[in-house]
Amino acid sequence: MASTTRSERLNAAVDKQVQRIRDFVDDTEPEALVVVTAIAISLLTAFIGFLLVSNLTALPFIVFVAVTGYGWVRHQEETALVLTLTMTVSTLLILGLIIVFIFRESVPVLQYESATVFGVSVPGLRMFIQPNWDAVSPPIRYSMVPMIHGTVMVTVIATAVAGPLGVAAALFLSEIAPDVIREFVKPGVEILAGIPSIVYGFIGFTILSPWASDQFQTTGQGSYLFVGIVVGLMALPTVVSVAEDALSSVPEAMKSGSLAVGTTDWQTMTSITLPAAFSGVSAAVLLGVGRAIGETMAATVMLRGVPRLTEPLVNVFYGQETLTSLIARNYGEADGLQMDALFVAGVILFITVLVISVGAQYIEWRMRSKLGGEA
């Protein structure tokens, strides 16, 4: 039942699109049509030339620029239409090319790290079922387990730092603080987000890490705990900023209604404002998590760079390597399979970030359908 309606809907949509294109062709002057077609074909040819690494790629591209220039003067409307469409398509195309590239580059090491399960050889499986990484001395193994472990540790600690602090700060700024303070603090927090990550990493490497090594009596410096704290602080401005926006977009009418029935300010915040802005606040925290996973410079500088699991697994006082720092530390020296293994780390990061952003969208959609209305 549902499937038939879906296919009917699909057919209707396709028909509508075809009709739109037909209308467009009917309504447009023939010359403008020629221009639009020329733009499309020249750009497509240039793209194919680019993929084939042809020396003649410049030719169709010059044609594209020339025709676009002509079209912009004579048929601005149609040209603008095609240009905006082209920009959208090229964004998607670039994304697609990157995905194809990193997957393709990681194929050799996936084949090398095949493992047999129930008589079936699964490429890449051995990277995830044993924890040894050694790119030089045999047995040569490229396990991703230590890096996944490191990334999880850093992200969890960073979220534990950035989440509560960020949401609390956002609540204060949006609901409690006087206007004057908000006017000063909000831009201040946003400036914090602009501090380059190497600055945090440098402070972490020269001051925090040696201090932590002394205090916790670890052998040498570099701990997931302090990398997590530093990355959490780096993600804090993002969380505060986005969560504050979400909280202040809760309609005043909802809060006033709550106050009118006799609740205190705090009761209004916890039972009305926060739930109403929950999708926005969770999006803020997820953005912070995304920043923590992707953070490279501070982690590379502060971690030890020796891929291995900590003992025991929850030991946060030793910090080995994350997915991003593995790439940042080794891209210069790596070759062959080791280089391909770095691409595998890239693939894992890509998939993780994809899952998180889809998750964020899902939460937002759930909240919208549940709460409804304008919030």
Provide the minimum distance between the beta carbon of 132 and other proteins in the complex, in angstroms, as a whole number.
10
The span from the CA of 2 to the CA of 371, in Å, is 25
Q: Note whether 136 binds other proteins by CB under 8 A.
A: yes
* Closer by beta carbon to other proteins, 221 or else 282: 221
Q: Which of 332, 369, 372, 373 binds other proteins (CB under 8 A)?
A: 332
DSSP 287: H
Strands 120-122 and 115-117: antiparallel
Structure tokens at 267: 């009761």
The span from the CA of 67 to the CA of 32, in Å, is 11
Q: Which of 210, 271, 313, 365 binds other proteins (CB under 8 A)?
A: 210
The span from the CA of 17 to the CA of 249, in Å, is 36
Per CB under 8 A, the segment of 66-74, 170-178, 258-266, 298-306 that binds other proteins is 298-306
Per CB under 8 A, the segment of 129-137, 158-166, 186-194, 358-366 that binds other proteins is 129-137
* Closer by beta carbon to other proteins, 64 or else 142: 142
Residues 6+ apart with CB under 8 A from 246: 170, 277, 279, 280, 281, 283, 284
Provide the minimum distance between the beta carbon of 207 and other proteins in the complex, in angstroms, as a whole number.
9
Structure tokens at 295: 């953070």
* Closer by beta carbon to other proteins, 138 or else 373: 138
Q: Note whether 334 binds other proteins by CB under 8 A.
A: yes
Nearest Cα neighbor of 169 from 195, 194, 188 is 188
Per CB under 8 A, the segment of 39-47, 100-108, 156-164, 213-221 that binds other proteins is 213-221
Residues 6+ apart with CB under 8 A from 45: 60
Q: Note whether 221 binds other proteins by CB under 8 A.
A: yes
Q: Note whether 224 binds other proteins by CB under 8 A.
A: no
Residues 6+ apart with CB under 8 A from 329: 300, 305, 321
Binding mask 337-356 for other proteins (x = CB under 8 A): -x------------------
Helices (H) and strands (E) in the chain, counts: 18, 4
Q: Which of 114, 213, 248, 315 binds other proteins (CB under 8 A)?
A: 213
Binding residues for other proteins (CB under 8 A): 134-138, 205-206, 210, 213-214, 219-222, 304-306, 329-330, 332-335, 338
